Structure 1
Amino acid sequence: MKGHTIGELRIGQSASFTKTISEHDVYTFAGVTGDLNPAHIDEVYAKGTQFRGRIAHGMLSAGLISAVIGMQLPGPGTIYVGQELSFRAPVRIGDTITATVTVEQLDPGRNRAVLRTVCTDQDGTCVVDGTTRIMPPKE
């Protein structure tokens, strides 16, 4: 499997990945990263927060962006150079999140691209918004 090279990318080109966030996903992410913040894993604690219940880790949603970039657009062989994210709304267990990546800028001379990265929930609410700088695979 080979990703798209800089010469194969086009401004406006996009790809998406959709996943329903499960309790297992939240606990697995907590275990892998060591982020055991009770806002994510302790319902009793989380009920006392502004969110009135557990929320998924923001970086779990951001990880779906990584799935699109690493597997679809540009795809295998792509290297992250940088990522800017804004977390706009909470993601709860059972929410279905769609990560969409869109090519915004191309710099063929440096083999770099800028991608708009957005995650929305099942209601169309933007939960993560950002920009990624990547290096697509070589020719």
Structure 2
Amino acid sequence: MPNQQPTKKKYTLEELIEGMSAELTQVIAAEDTLQFADLSGDCNPVHLDENYAANSRYKKRIAHGLHGASFFSALFGTQLPGEGCVYASQNLQFKRPVYVGDTVTAKVTIRKIDRVKKIVSFETKCFVKNKVVIDGSADIFMPQK
């Protein structure tokens, strides 16, 4: 269960402007990590086992990279541009580990709008303690109407 629900919004293509952004902040709770492992099937012990993780390069449990990246989907579908939009693509770079218990802020910012093809391009970033942990870009299809 998310710690914070984004405000539900729905923008039309005509209302969108380059530079618009939205963000979501959530704590990566231990229970969320277990649920993500169950849903995704990724049961790598670096995410789930304290003893295993203590002997890894990270020294403690890390969250699944795609768990943090999934916050972008929440932002797109509920805030900017809002309901009815669909992912066309997502590129990700995992810059730093996200540990279980970290507070993650995901932010999406409109970079480009193709009004003919009805595709909106975004910069996507996740931050922990003001440091970029996930950096990327996404293209989103806007609804027909």
Is the TM value for this pair above 0.5? Answer: yes
Give the number of equivalent residue pairs.
138
* Alignment partner of 2:137 out of 97, 122, 131: 131
Q: Provide TM-score, normalisation by structure 2.
A: 0.92
CA RMSD of aligned residues (A): 1.1
Distance 1:5 1:120 in 2: 28
The answer to whether 1:62 aligns with 2:89 is no
Which residue matches 2:96? 89
**1:5–1:138 CA contact under 8 A, matched in 2:** no
- Of structures 1 and 2, the one with the larger relative CO (CA 8 A, separation 6+) is 1
Moved >3 Å (runs of 4+): none
Q: Which ranges of structure 2 fall in alignment gaps of 5 or more residues? A: 1-7
User: Unaligned regions of 5+ residues in structure 1, if any?
Assistant: none
Superposed CA offset, 1:1-59 (max 9, x none): 76212211100000001101100010000001100001100111111111001100000
Deviations, residues 99-133 of structure 1 (Å, cap 9, x unaligned): 00000000000000100000001x10101000000
1:68-101 deviations in Å (ceiling 9; x for gaps): 1111000111100000000011111111101000
